[in-house]
Amino acid sequence: MSSAPIRLGQFGLLILLAGQLLLQLDFSIINVGLAAISASLHAGETELELFVAAYGVAFAVCLAMGARLGDNFGRRRMFGLAVLLFCLASLLCGVATSVAFLIVARALQGIAAALMVPQVLATIHVSLTGRDHARAVSLYSAIGGIAFIVGQVLGGFLISADIAGSGWRSIFLINLPVCILILLCVWRHVPETRGQGRVPVDWSGMITLALLTLSVLLPTALGPSLHWNWLCLLGFVPILPLVALLWRIERGKEARGAFPILPPSLTRISSMRFGGLIAILFFTCWSGFMFVFALTLQAGAGLTPLQSGNALIALGGSYFVSAAFVTPRLANIRRELMLAMGCVIQMSGLTLLIVTLETVWPRPGVINLIPSTILIGFGQALIVNTFYRLGLADVPHEHAGAGSAMLATMQQVSLGLGPAILGAVFAQVLQYSSAYLSAGVTAIAVELGLMAILLAATLLRLARQRSRPEEAEIDALIVAPE
């Protein structure tokens, strides 16, 4: 039985990319609203950490589930349901009257995002070919840098404009008309696709991963406010048992030929372990830096949301230029060398940022921050470019999908935990010194140290590869061309 080929038109692609842009805007726009949310709902640093982390953690834990549900029940259907859920969650965020309510609503947004994201790339993959496919993937990849810039500026403008007295609530409520417009168009212009046969969702692995992530997130975020008392430290106790349980569950599923969320066999591959190290060190620092930097500028230096957003335009712009124009020209150099370059450039930017803040505080203007943020954004793009390329370098072709999903999960978990980890450093210093400059600089210095560890690991890996050229030749034969 033959069927007509599925084809995604230009307007359908625009709808899918609009959904992706909406999610990434929401991820970046939130940082400029932290001070306003804190003042309105009387939220401290701990509550803000949980608020920011709730989205990322929920997204990470549910990402694999979203992909499986789209394959099983139809990607257009799941995309539409995800947009509807995101619309509802945005409304709940916009009308929230307490921090706890806002945290729950933000987690609901993260779940909706996890249901939506896999459908976008999967639909592009199965419904476009050749030049159209390459163009669509390029547009998909470029959205991140664009969303970051637009999110900072738009968020700052909306909060400062205080339309109808909405204040920070407008950064959530603006999602509603966009979601409604997408819903009106998606059923007509996006074709329905699904996977070959149904694959069961790894519910036990997903729930265990969620509990493990929460056992790291909650004690870390609450530690400074609870003065790291015994009850707080007790929260870390389940970590090792949950790691062992997750390993046992996933190994059992893999042995039975099932589809675990984190296949244990992939951890035996060197490049996957190194990709996990990049995820833990870099993406934790990335999201943590955005959170801490926004608080330092707004709550510490007294910048308005618009000024705070403008301070990061140079970072987003340099990230976009590096990702779109520089990394393609460096495609032929060693991946480890590009990663090392990215680490060095970003560390230079972080060091310059510390010096700049110490010099111009308490009035860090947007112009003062441009040189350091340009370096940070440029280096970040180089690191992100190598993440999947390095992580999947030694993964056999037949396991590329599972490897990509595993790296994506580790990436999103790290992004979710970043605000809690660097935020805990920030809150701890602030508790003892009451100086936002000291708190911000200390958190940035911790990030600098973590990036130094990643740089050292990268140089060590590069040295080992150069000392074993025969293995590099074998790898070149078995790794898929990029």
Choosing from 145, 162, 190, the residue where a domain stops is: 190
360 and 384 belong to one structural domain: yes
CA 310/CA 295 separation, integer angstroms: 14
Q: What is the span of the domain harbouring residue 271?
A: 263-468
Q: What pTM did the predictor assign?
A: 0.80
Residue type, 56: G
Q: Could you tell me if residue 429 is inside a domain? A: yes
Average pLDDT over residues 274-286: 91
Model confidence pLDDT, tens digit, residues 115-130: 998 888 788 877 877 7
Structural domain contains residue 88: yes
Do 338 and 407 share a structural domain?
yes
Last residue of a domain, one of 190, 213, 243: 190
Same structural domain, 370 and 348: yes
225: pLDDT strictly greater than 80: no
Task: Please check the confidence at residue 355 and state whether its pLDDT lies above 90.
Answer: yes
Position 469 scores a pLDDT of: 56
Average pLDDT in the 73-98 region?
A: 93
Residue 2 is assigned to a structural domain of this protein: no
- Residue 31 resides in a domain: yes
Higher pLDDT, 342 or 303: 342
Task: State residue 480's pLDDT score.
Answer: 38
Q: What is the pLDDT confidence band of residue 442, given thresholds at 50, 70 and 90?
A: very high
Q: How many helices (H) and strands (E) does the chain have?
A: 20, 0
Mean pLDDT computed over every residue of the chain: 84
- My answer on whether 288 and 184 are in the same domain is no
Dihedral-angle region of residue 339 (phi above 0 means left; psi in -120 to 50 means alpha; beta otherwise): alpha
Last residue of a domain, one of 190, 221, 251: 190
* 229 and 358 together in one domain: no
In sequence order, the 6+-apart residues with CB closer than 8 A to the CB of 241 are none
pLDDT of res. 141: 66
Tokens representing residue 418 in the block: 């970043």
Query: SS in 3 state form for 191-206?
Result: CCCCCCCCCCCCHHHH
CATH number at residue 344: 1.20.1250.20
318 and 232 in one domain?
Answer: no
What is the average per-residue pLDDT within 412-425?
Answer: 85
As to burial, measured by CB atoms within 10 angstroms (0-12 exposed, 13-18 middle, 19+ buried), residue 325 is exposed
Kindly tell me if the per-residue pLDDT of 48 is higher than 60.
Answer: yes
- pLDDT the model gives residue 371: 94
**pLDDT reading at 243 higher than 70:** yes
Same domain, 128 and 40: yes
- Write down the pLDDT at residue 408: 81
pLDDT in tens, 192-205: 888 777 778 888 98
More confident residue, 241 or 132: 241
Mean pLDDT of 281-302: 89
- pLDDT-derived band of residue 449, with 50, 70 and 90 as boundaries? very high
70 plus 172 within the same structural domain: yes
DSSP-H helix ranges across 128-198: 130-161, 170-173, 175-189
Q: For the residues 6-33, what does the mean pLDDT come to?
A: 84
Q: Is the pLDDT of residue 282 over 90?
A: yes
Note whether 256 and 276 are same-domain residues. Answer: no
Q: Does a structural domain hold residue 197?
A: no
Whether 244 and 95 share a structural domain: no
Single-letter residue type at 247: W
Q: How many domains does the chain have?
A: 3
pLDDT (0 to 100) of residue 474:
41
Rounded to an integer, the average pLDDT of 310-325 is 85
The answer to whether residue 478 sits within a structural domain is: no
pLDDT for the residue numbered 481: 34
Q: 406 and 280, same structural domain?
A: yes
| Residues in Cβ contact with 111 at an 8 Å cutoff, skipping those fewer than 6 apart | 58, 59, 62, 85, 89
Residues 407 and 464 in one domain: yes
| 302 falls within a domain | yes
Q: Please report the pLDDT score of residue 478 as a whole number.
A: 38
pLDDT at 398 over 90: no
Helices (H), 162-261: 170-173, 175-189, 203-226, 230-234, 239-255
474 in a structural domain? no
Distance CA 365, CA 71 (A): 49
- Of residues 77 and 213, the one with the higher pLDDT is 77
